[in-house]
Structure 1
Amino acid sequence: MTSAADSASSGASADFSLYPELDASALAAFVTALESGDVSGLGPARAAEVEAARSVALFSRIKVGGADGALLDAGLWRHTGSQPRPVIVMPSPWTNLGWHTYAVQASIFAARGYNVLAYTTRGFPGSEGEVEVAGALDIADGSRALDHLIERTAGQVTKIGFLGDSYGSGISQIVAARDSRVDAVVALSTWGDLGEAFYENSTRHVEAVRALLNAASKARLSPQTQSIFDNVLTNQNIEETLIWAEERSPFSYVRELNDRQVPVLFAHAWHETLFPSNQTLKQFHALTGPKRVLFSIGDHSGPEASGMLGLPNRIWTNAHRWFDHHLKGVENGIDGEGQVLSEIMWSQALEPRPTWESLTGRVRRLFLAPGGELDEKPQTGWTAGVLTGTDTPATVADSVVLAGFAEIAGRPKAYPTDDIDRTVAAVWASAPSDEVTRLRGTPRLHLTYQAPSPRSSFIAYLFDTAPDGTAHIVTHAPFTDLVTGPGEPVSAEFDLQATAYDVPAGNRLLLVIDARDPFYGDSNLPRATLTFTSLEEKPSHLDLPLG
């Protein structure tokens, strides 16, 4: 199938995966050992997991009858005997690996007493149908998979959980909202508002959509799905795309989740490049039932990836504890550990908080001043020009997903801030801090600017800059205006992505504004100038949440 998406592609390899650390051959060998019992080809740890699961449960590859008759590839872990048990359904992530992605973790759940069914979502290799992106057929598939699991366990079910990573996490949340049988959810690297994920502050996430297309190179996308992705890449039919996304957004089903007080555990990466954290936090904030969010260093699905290989992983440990408590009734203390657990950049310290609001103790306001300073006092009347059409060394990351693994390994990208051309970017720096600056929460930026056309966009980056000029990114966000007339003032007030970051004493915070980043769609006229300023009635400023 050839489409506008193909011609707009960044040229990423068709073999691109959102799970680069996972080895398809190793997962297939694990599944084969589950079937045969022959663990001679596995390492000791994986062999022990196979033996533990097989000692209590029967494993089989199966086909699940989904909606509209589509057959879905699946794996079933079923305990013998008539004892009622909790069950877990696991819709697969956005990957050609399908349900094999969960093979190790599903086996661990089985060894802990659960009956488990993991299935490959429709349209991906091994399953029939077409990729609908959490559409009505996908949600019906989730309930059909649950029907199948209940039938195969002779109805001996106590409570029901849905667990998904990435694509499977959005499906899991919506199934839980629509199917009253579901008692708890684990949603890893998930989305809350898909429209906001595709159009953050009205800015198209083109590189994220390209990554999704490349990662689904062997999948069968429905014509509508292909058309929607093309819309984002070619900047067409925005309203149509947002309507499509609303149906596929867990945020649209908050009322149903709250009516039943469904417990939901979220896990997310601070530098998520597919589903930015703020739109997931929107979902988290709206839920009134038991909830918890784990924030980690890295990018999409990276923090939990090692657990999919069977290695010790605190995110999967929390997932097990969440289901043990809410499905088995185990008093393991997770309900008293607070709603938020943050991994602090770059110390990797874990910081629990009772609520999201308790992360932020106070807000410090810094004003954008002439001469490139971030000042404690309002400064107005100045102008700063940003030339469009030219990229700078200030970028979101070197690549979608992959850059996050370097962060997890303790090698975050070092940005040479002295190389940022001040003729194409506007830069403001704070004074060096006398002590560690503990950023906790969601920074907010207010700017006034003028553009020569009714469509304009820019990206705001916040960096932690050492005395030698090297920097690490703290957070960022894009902004696009599609309605203001040429030359009229645009009031841009928006959140940067949430963060938990310790800026060392002696370092500066650096705010950079430029008009182009390969991660985002560009709405500017080429070689035009965006003119930023600060008005008396509302000076341009940056609000920093401090812990």
Structure 2
Amino acid sequence: MHPAAHCLYPELDATALTAFATALETGEGAGLPPARAAEVQAVRAAAVFSRGKVAGADGDLLDAALWRHTGSAPRPAVVMPAPWTDLGWPAYAVQASRLALRGYDVLAYSPRGFAASEGHADLAGPFDVTDGRHALDHLLERAAGPVTRIGFLGVSYGAGIAQLVAAHDARVDAVAALSGWCDLGAVLRENRTRRTAAVHALLTASPRARLNRPAQDALEAVLAGRDTPQSVAWEEQRSPFTQVKELGRRQVAVFLAHAWHETLFPAGQVLRMFQELRGPRRIDLSIGDHGGPEMAGLPGLPNRIWTDAHRWFDHHLLGEDNGVDEEGEVLSEVMWSRTLEPAPTWPVPTRRVRRLHLTGTGELADAPDPGWAAGVVCGVETPVTVAEAVARSGADELAGLPRRYPDAAATDGAATAVWTAPATTATTRLRGTPRLRVTYRAANSGSTFVAYLLDLAPDGSARLITHAPFSDLDSPPDSLISADLDLHPTAYDLPPGHRPLLALAAHDPFYADANLPRATLSFTSPEPVPSYLDLPLA
């Protein structure tokens, strides 16, 4: 689960992007595919490309590239902080070039501590925000003419930095954040459950990265279970969600793009920020995992996410009347039909919420059934898990091959408690955030479980629709604990003949759990507070 080195972007073609960046500098595109070679020549004819250094916070030099037009006409500008990768700014070589061809001056840079940039990574803290502002200064000082409006665009780590710079620098008019985070606290701990697989991925994904001591300590504290008020303050300082009022006050135009089954930065915390934004806003939600939906666009392949990001900037920075304001604020790619559904806002309009009660017979039923008990053993590996590894499920899901779970293994009574609803007679359209209320008894003072909502097919196989973890760290031993939790939001079509399946397990390798090994969690449904699952139906 936690290899020595982990790639957050398994589909990233670093070789092709490095070759493109080199060709931009030399003008020699002989080794590139014909389309990319022609693109290099078009970019060099339209703008001056140069590599250089940006003086960041404390004098640390950041590796950067600049696409600068020579004419004195007014034009907008875009700054692009790179993702969490040893590749650095060349990850944006093609997309920055395409922005330059659309008329923007562009500066892309490697954040501190990554690739050829100096300093130590601050994990989107004050040093990184200052670096972003200095990068903008660098671009403005070298623009040949007046700069009209300014955007920040980033993928993953760069998306977090882009949002924070936009909130702290009044010069920024628009931001595009692809596969980023909005609430770092919810990324590291979800429902008080430590997201240890995500932290391991961050620590191992860029082997040559240099984290500063506070960032290293904060991530290691999550792994060790050392939660302090200082760590909460550290996380809040790095969370765009804490700056949402400032973004709204200045009417910064915010474009977000995210994957439904995001394993690094869960989709729920991004959608919570989206709901709070008060300026121009849009979110694209796609099938896949971290970085997957936009990854094919980095080397230049046709890509919906990058097209929408460009159109967002064209409208809010170039002033084009391209219909962006008329398309609704939400565009969802539905699993697994691949249908694109626009919606005026989030939550999407729902026809009704279907409440299914957990029963002693293992059914999800319309009426409560109090008094039963269903136990699961703690510390036991279960076949139902979030994914095989952080960010690795994206390619298969994008190819229409989501992970399948065998029904017989999923219903292992020792490790997993399972409830199923009757088969659907027509397509059931789940749109929104499923919610679970369940009561359980824990023999010990700390407890954790993970809830999974699956699609059970007539052949007995199952696919994961959504999930969420839950931990209680305060109740005394042998307490009855009432858990109320939102599962991750979803847009899922349950075909006719399929059944919703709810599974509860006490262990998942994606999360640290507070259970004692071989202890038992006993789920139940008291008469005054019945246990149920709410499904939002479109």
The TM-score, its normalising length taken from structure 2, stands at 0.99
Structure 2 residue 438 is the aligned partner of structure 1 residue 409: no
Q: Deviations over 1:312-347 (max 9, x none)?
A: 000000000000000011000011100110000001
Structure 2: how far apart are the matches of 1:298 and 1:181? Answer: 34
Matches within 5 A, 1:377-526: 377-420=367-410, 421-526=412-517
Counterpart Cα distance in 1 of 2:424 and 2:174: 44
Which residue of the partner structure matches residue 95 of structure 1? 85
User: Which aligned pairs between 1:142-541 and structure 2 lie closer than 5 A?
Assistant: 142-154=132-144, 156-420=146-410, 421-541=412-532
CA contact (8 A) 1:433 1:505 kept: yes
8 A Cα contact 1:391 1:514, kept in partner? no
Query: 1: CA distance between counterparts of 2:326 and 2:530?
Result: 42
Which one is further off, 80-89 or 152-161?
Answer: 152-161
Q: Is the 8 A contact 1:442 1:498 kept in 2?
A: yes
- Match of 2:475, as an amino acid? T
Structure 2: how far apart are the matches of 1:251 and 1:38?
44
Contact conserved, 1:393 with 1:417, CA < 8 A, in 2? Answer: no
In the other structure, the counterpart of 2:117 is 127
Amino acid at match of 2:514: S
User: Is the CA contact 1:450–1:530 (under 8 Å) kept in the aligned structure 2?
Assistant: yes
How big is each residue's C-alpha offset from its partner over 1:454-508, in whole Å with a ceiling of 9 and x where there is no partner? 1100000000011111011000000000111111111100100000000000001
Residue 105 of structure 1, aligned match among 90, 95, 102: 95
Per the TM alignment, residue 360 of structure 1 is displaced from its structure 2 partner at its CA by 2.3
SS in structure 1 at match of 2:296 = helix
- What is the rounded CA distance, in whole Å, between the counterparts of 1:496 and 1:52 in structure 2? 47
Partner SS for 1:434:
coil
Q: Counterpart amino acid of 1:413?
A: R
Whether the aligned pair in 2 keeps the contact of 1:322 and 1:334 (CA below 8 Å) is: yes
Letter in 2 for 1:345: M
Q: Distance in 1 between matches of 2:216 and 2:348?
A: 42
Q: Which one-letter code corresponds to 1:344 in the other structure?
A: V
- 1:484–1:155 CA distance, 2 compared to 1 (3 A): farther
- After superposition, give the CA deviation of every residue in 1:373-417 in whole Å (9 maximum; x if it has no partner): 000111111111111010211100111111111100111101112
Match of 2:10, as an amino acid?
A: P
Partners of 1:51 and 1:155 in 2: how far apart? 23
3-state DSSP of counterpart to 1:521: coil
Output aligned runs, 1:26-45, within 5 Å: 26-45=16-35
Cα distance per residue 1:260-300 (max 9 Å; x no partner): 01110000000000100001111111101110110000000
Check conservation: 2:2, 2:197, Cα contact below 8 A.
no
Please state if 1:116 is matched with 2:106. Answer: yes
Structure 1 gaps of 5+ residues are 1-9
* Cα distance in structure 2, aligned partners of 1:127 and 1:358: 42
State the Cα RMSD in Å: 1.0
Structure 1 counterpart of 2:15, from 25, 30, 44: 25
User: Which runs of 5 or more structure 2 residues have no equivalent in the other structure?
Assistant: none
- Return the alpha-carbon distance in structure 1 between the equivalents of residues 12 and 432 of structure 2: 32
Is the contact made by 1:446 and 1:494 (CA closer than 8 Å) also made in structure 2? yes
CA drift at 1:246: 0.5
Letter in 2 for 1:518: P
SS of the aligned residue for 1:364 comes to strand
Cα distance between partner residues in 2 of 1:241 and 1:345: 36
Structure 1 runs of 4+ with >3 Å offset: none
How far apart, in 2, do the equivalents of 1:153 and 1:245 lie?
35
Q: Is the 8 A contact 2:348 2:431 kept in 1?
A: no
SS in 2 for 1:449: strand
Taking the aligned partners of 1:63 and 1:23, their CA distance within structure 2 comes to 24
Cα displacement (A) at 1:114 = 0.4
Please list the CA deviations of residues 111-133 of structure 1 after superposition, one character each: whole Å capped at 9, or x if unmatched: 11000000000001200010110
Residues 99-154 of structure 1 deviation map (CA, whole Å, 9 limit, x = unaligned): 01111000000011000000000001200010110100000000000000000104
**Alpha-carbon contact 2:82-2:89 (below 8 Å) kept:** yes
Instruction: Give 1:34's aligned amino acid.
Output: L
TM-score, normalised with respect to structure 1: 0.97
1:5 counterpart residue number: none
The number of residues matched between the two structures is: 537
- Range with bigger deviation, 36-45 or 326-335: 36-45
Between the aligned residues of both structures, percent identity stands at 59
Deviation at 1:13, TM superposition (A): 3.5
Residues 391 and 515 in structure 1, CA contact (< 8 A), matched pair in contact too:
no
Q: 8 Å contact 1:261–1:289 — kept in the other structure? A: yes
Tell me how far apart the structure 1 counterparts of residues 181 and 188 of structure 2 sit (CA, whole Å): 11
Match of 2:45 in 1: 55
For residue 238 of structure 2, what is the amino acid of its counterpart?
Answer: R
Question: Structure 2 CA distance, aligned partners of 1:164 and 1:213?
Answer: 20
Q: CA deviation at 1:11?
A: 4.3
